[in-house]
Amino acid sequence: MAATVAVVIGSLRKQAWSRKVATEIIHRAQGKLNCHILEIGDLPLYNEDLDAQPPLEWKRFRTGIDASDAVLFVTPEYNRSVPGVLKNALDIGSRPGNQNHWSGKPAAVVSQTPYKLGAFGANHALRQTFVFLDMPVLQQPEMYIGTVGDKFDSAGKLTDSDTGKLLDAFIAAFAGWIARAAKPESFPDFMKRRDSVATAYVNGDGSPLDSIITRTDPATFLSPGGDAVTGAAVVANRYKADAAHFTKGSTSKLEVLQSANGQLGFWTGIQHAEVKMQGKEGAIPMSLRVTEVFRLEGGHWHLIHRHADMGTSK
């Protein structure tokens, strides 16, 4: 199963070359790496005072890192270093206190410049941070793209076949690097992640859940509405559709009894939530009775069964 890669882009410009390069890599990596862009443009500036009650954007970003197997950085060079917006994102992901969300995630860097000379400074300034962030980074091949503006057409499509070949080799090397760096996730570690995935879900962000659900049959979902869906693809679509009903400002906390043995794990307990729904005023408190079963697939735990019923509504 392809690893999930968060792609972090170091430029906020709409027409950024970095975004064009990232989009090209995501396209070329299809089937080998499951890449998605983790946006940084809405992140409030890091301020340690805010960590007691972090902004929702920080939470969304940290959950996005947690839900990824690896991280790809695609960045321009600013003043021979990384753009401030990217450093801000690195700092937010490294906190609070002892919760460094980047820790152990395999990383790779692509840097670009419209000039002949450049991109090296940003690439290596970024690598310097990986030492403290504890990110094992792909060494070879290095990816510095010079004169980037000559390599894409006006529609943003890569026209330079040599760069295309380099990118393909880079993607293959990164996929191999991720596979070597991966060790099976412990079930207790996964369950910490499960809690934050549930919080993202009730805030309308279904993508972290999407990354932990199985794509292999059999899969089942018995919903709080009383209906049941079966089959991995149908279940995945259903979760996606349901997430869209929730909006930001919801809370969720899992009260868990859990166990795992070999390839299978489960938790049963209560999901305490206050959910805000599209088109409805105020938050709706609920305590769902939940049982979820997971299978270890490709070193990661994946949801194969969820049964939730309303239990009590306060």
Ligand X SMILES: Cc1cc2nc3c(=O)[nH]c(=O)nc-3n(C[C@H](O)[C@H](O)[C@H](O)COP(=O)(O)O)c2cc1C
Q: Is 11 in the site for ligand X (CB under 6 A)?
A: yes
The answer to the question of residue 252 lying near ligand X (CB under 6 A) is no
- In this complex, which beta carbon is closest to ligand X, that of residue 4 or of residue 113? 113
Q: Which residue from 4, 18, 199, 203 is in contact with ligand X, where contact means CB under 6 A?
A: 18
Cβ nearer to ligand X, comparing 11 with 250? 11
CA distances from 179 to 4, 50, 190, 310 (A): 11, 36, 18, 40
Q: Is 24 in the site for ligand X (CB under 6 A)?
A: no
The distance of closest approach from Cβ of residue 88 to ligand X in the complex, given in angstroms and rounded to an integer, is 15
Judged by CB under 6 A, the stretch of 107-115, 166-174, 184-192, 236-244 that binds ligand X is: 107-115
DSSP string, 121-140: HHHHHHHHHHHHHT--B--S
298: left (phi over 0), alpha (psi -120 to 50) or beta: left
Residue 146 one-letter amino acid: G
141 φ, ψ (degrees, to nearest 5): -80, 145
Residues in a beta bridge with 111: 75, 144
Classify strands 143-145 and 284-297 as parallel, antiparallel or unpaired: unpaired
Give me Rg for the CA atoms of the chain: 20
Half-sphere exposure of 23 (CA within 13 A, CB side): 12
| Min CB(144)–ligand X separation in Å | 10
**Does residue 150 touch ligand X according to CB under 6 A?**
no
The yes or no reply on residue 77 touching ligand X (CB under 6 A) is: yes
The residue within the footprint of ligand X, chosen from 27, 45, 48, 79 (CB under 6 A), is 79
Site string for ligand X, 108-137 (x = CB under 6 A): -----xxx--xx------------------
Q: Return the number of the residue (16 or 50) whose C-beta is nearest ligand X.
A: 16
Instruction: Summarize as ranges the residues that interact with ligand X (CB under 6 A).
Output: 11, 13, 16-18, 76-80, 113-115, 118-119
